[in-house]
Structure formats: structure tokens, C-alpha cells
Chain A
Amino acid sequence: MFDAPGSSPEQAFGVGELTTLVKQALEGGFPPLWVKGEVSGFKRHTNGHWYFSLKDAAGQLPCVVWARDTRRIPAPPDEGMAVFARGQLTVYPAQGKLQFMVDALEAEGEGLWKKAFDALKAKLDAEGLTDPARKRRLPRFPRTVAVITSLDGAARRDIEAVVRRRHPGVHLVLIGAVVQGEAAPASIVAALDRLARWGGADVAIIGRGGGSREDLWCFNDESVARAIAACPIPIISAVGHEIDVTIADLVADLRAATPSVAAEHAVPILAEVQEHLRRLGGRLADALEDRVVAERRALLTQLERFTLRATRMVERRRARVQQVAGRLEALSPVATLSRGFAVARDADGRTLTGRSAFAVGATFDLLVQDGRVHARTESIHDDAPHLPSRA
């Protein structure tokens, strides 16, 4: 006779044996599936696991999210929040309890994503990291542009094409990074660290092409945001499409709608740079020419002033010379002689100025206006018609 397990006290199951069997049956009967309901009694355990129940009007389902799976969920759900949970139905044998092991959790609409985004944004806002005043000016004429993205992504090709079209001489340096999935934040942070340590780029573009919200989520990661904010090189963020705004966009120095637009912001058009240089050269030449003209004018003015002054000086001197000459003339014996006076001199040329200088019989010369008269002293007298008579 065959007794089925559990059909008699002799065939009784051990508790653990049975709960394990139930667990196996449950797991075999239910593949991973989505359940919707309202969150109730959410609790975050110190070991990192999350516990809560999903319920609706008719039932309740105990749920757990293991710590490693919580990392994929943008934010913990709020009490009463309507959510969709994906997981595996099982039994927790130690408590004989039905348990739903959740590995993905989504709120209706933007729910959890928006919550996580808003929370991080508020935190970074409070620290001033999203302050527009922090944003650095991009270099107008970069020679080297770094690109942090997936080496085999569309973003990289778009950026290369735009850069080549605008300015074939600009160097591109690619810094490969994982830009989706769980490894992405750490990979992007490492790429930013390389960019900073290398230091050879004038500006950097960080981003990726379009994707699902989950794909782009690494650009809402706090560590990525902080690495961008701390990067010594100006950063242009370019994540997904026009409508996708990420935390990375808020802390970057410039947000570009797409990677192609980022490349346009980063790199000037070569012809425009050449035109700019040409204009600068023109300004230099004009400025110098103006300067030379001005100097020449100043020099001519100086020369004129100098000539005028020199002429005046010569005239003044000439007038003085004439004045002195007049005075000299007045003092000159020649002038006196012309008035009829004569000067007596002895043979040695000494002027005979009084009676005592004469001797009777001695000869002397009389200098007159137009020559010399040799004379002899006949007699000497103390009276003269032009002198008052001596008392």
C-alpha cells in the first residue's frame, strides 16, 4: 500500500520541507510578473532592504526589495503611492509568509523619477551647484575638444561630423564611458576624472544620444553631477533629445539640446575665425597708421613752433646788437673826432691828456676825423677858451 506524503501522521511533512515545497511550486507556477497596487507600510531596514505591502481594496501582498535592487530604483516610494512592481512571487520559509521579491518599481506617470530628480535638484540648488552665476564662459576658439560618451554611440559620430564640418583643424579627444546601466555613473565619473587630470582640453562635451528614461538616468546621478560641477574644464552637457533635461544639464556650464548642437556650441566655424583674425590684423595696422599720422602731425607742429621761435630769437638778438652798436658808436672816439675834437698822442701812442704831458719843442700827433697831423708844441698855457678861467 502506498501512502501519499502528508496523508497520515506517519507521512507528515516537516514544516520547512513543506514550505520549501510550496516555495518551489509557487516560483514554478508564477514567472516574474508585474503587479499594481498602493504602497503601504514602507520601511527601510538598516541592512538596506526595503519592506512594504502592496494592496488594493481586495488584497494585500508583502513585498521586499533587496538592497542591491534598490539601486536601480530612482527613489523610495511614498506611502499610498500607486505603483507597478515587477518581481518574483515566493514564500519566505522562516516565517511561512507569502513574499513578492521586487526588482523594479515604477510609479504612475513620472512618479519616482520625478521625486528622485526633484530631491537631488533641491539638494544641489541649496549648495549653489546649479547657480547660473557658477557657469563658466566657453572658450570661443578651442583647439582641443574632449568628448565623454560611449565610443561606439551615435553621439560620438554626430559630434565628430559637426566638428569636422565647422572646423577641420580642431582636435577631438574621445574619453570612453559607459553611458547607460548600473555601471554608468562610476564610469562617467572616472572619465571626468581623466579629463581633469589630463588637462589638455579647452572644453568638453559630455552626453549620449536619445534613449529611454532609464537609459538616460545616469545623467541624473548625484556623483556624476558633482564630478561635472567640480571639473576644471568647461563642460557642455548633451543628453538625449531636446525634451530630456537632466541634473547633469543643470550643473554643466552649458546645456545643449543634442550632441550635434553641443558640437556647434563648442566649435567655431573656421571661416569665421579667419575673418576674425583678418579684422584683428586690420585693427592693428589701422591703429599704427593713425598713430604714425598723428606723430607726424605732432612733429610738424613742433618743427613749426621751433622755427618760429628760432626766427624770433634771431630777430631779438639782432635788435640788441644794433642797440649796443649804437651805444658803442656814441662812445667811440671816432664819433667824437667827427664832431671836430682831436686827440693828441706822443710817438709811443700814449694819449696826451693834459698840459704836463706836453713839452715845448716836442712833436706829437693829432688824430682827427680823417687822419693824423704831425705837430710841434710851441708854447703851453693854462687858459683855454672852452674852460672856465681858474680862480
Chain B
Amino acid sequence: MSFEQTLARLEQIASSLDRDDLPLEEALRLFEEGIAKLREANAALGEAEGKVQRLIEGAAGVLALEEES
């Protein structure tokens, strides 16, 4: 799941939890999922420095990423 998707899911969960007609069990399950997603997103943000890479096309059209100095 991309960072974007993780955040979208989080927003969806927050909206669902705001509803009163959700069964408690479902609310608890969503809350747990939300906390997990939150951790995931925070971990992704805390990742090491973003890289600068170059997309190279090799023989037979094979694409590869190469670190840029």
C-alpha cells in the first residue's frame, strides 16, 4: 500500500468511526486498523533521507534505478 493509499484509508476509517450506527465490535476493529495504519505512515515519514535516483533503460528495454551521486 502506498503512503497515499495508507492516508486515504486512515481518513476513511476516521470518517467511519464518526458514525454512530457502527456496531461496537466493528468500531474497535477499525480503530485497531487505524492505529496500525498511523504507525505505518509515521514509520514511512521517519524513513531515511529520500534518494535521488536515475531511471536507466538497459538492453532489451529493461528499466533500472541507479543511485545518483
B63 within 8 A of A: yes
B51–A291 touching, CB < 8 Å: no
> A163 vs B22: C-alpha distance in the bound complex, in angstroms?
41
Is B49 a contact of A174 with CB atoms below 8 Å?
no
- CB neighbours (8 Å) of A123 from chain B are none
Whether A167 and B50, one on each chain, are in contact in the complex, defined by CB atoms closer than 8 angstroms, is: yes
One of A2-10, A280-288, A342-350, A354-362 at the interface: A280-288
Q: In the assembled complex, which residues on chain B have CB atoms less than 8 Å from the CB atom of A295?
A: 24
Asked whether B45 lies within 8 Å of A172 as measured between CB atoms, the reply is no
State whether A270 touches B45 (Cβ < 8 A).
Answer: yes
Chain B interface size band reads 35 or more
**Given the complex, which residues of A lie within 8 Å of B63, measured CB to CB?**
194, 197-198
> Closest Cβ of chain A: how far from B36's Cβ, in Å?
11
Q: Smallest distance from the beta carbon of A297 to chain B beta carbons, Å? A: 12
Tell me if A104 is interfacial: C-beta within 8 Å of chain B. Answer: no
Any A CB within 8 A of the CB of B59? no
Chain B nearest CB from A151 CB (Å) reads 7
Q: How far is the CB of A234 from chain B (nearest CB, A)?
A: 11
Residues on B with C-beta less than 8 A from A294 are: 20
Q: How far is the CA of A197 from the CA of B53 in the complex (A)?
A: 16
Residues in A with CB closer than 8 Å to B44 are 143, 169
- The A182-229 residues at the B interface (CB cut-off 8 A) are 194-195, 197-198, 200, 202
B53: contacting residue among A171, A277, A291, CB under 8 A: A171
- Asked if A334 is an interface residue, CB under 8 A from chain B, the answer is no
**If A140-B4, A195-B55, A197-B63 touch, does A277 touch B34 (CB 8 Å cutoff)?**
no
Most A-side CB within 10 Å, residue of B11, B45, B48: B45
A140 to B3, CA, bound (A): 10
Q: Which of A151, A273, A295 gathers the greatest number of chain B CB atoms within 10 Å?
A: A273
B52 and A169: CB pair below 8 A? no
Q: Does A142 sit at the interface, judged by CB under 8 A?
A: yes
Q: Are A284 and B38 in contact (CB under 8 A)?
A: yes
Q: Which residue of A lies closest to B13 (CB)?
A: A284
A170 to B51, CA, bound (A): 7
A173 adjacent to B53 (CB under 8 Å)? yes
B55-A143 in contact (CB<8A) = no
B3 touches A168 (CB 8 A): no
A-B contact pairs, 25 of them (CB 8 A): A141-B3, A141-B7, A163-B50, A164-B50, A169-B46, A169-B48, A171-B52, A173-B52, A173-B53, A174-B53, A200-B65, A270-B45, A274-B45, A280-B10, A280-B11, A281-B35, A281-B38, A283-B14, A283-B18, A284-B38, A287-B17, A287-B31, A288-B17, A288-B28, A294-B20
5 cross-chain pairs, A with B, having the tightest CB-CB distances, nearest first? A287-B17, A283-B14, A284-B34, A170-B50, A172-B52
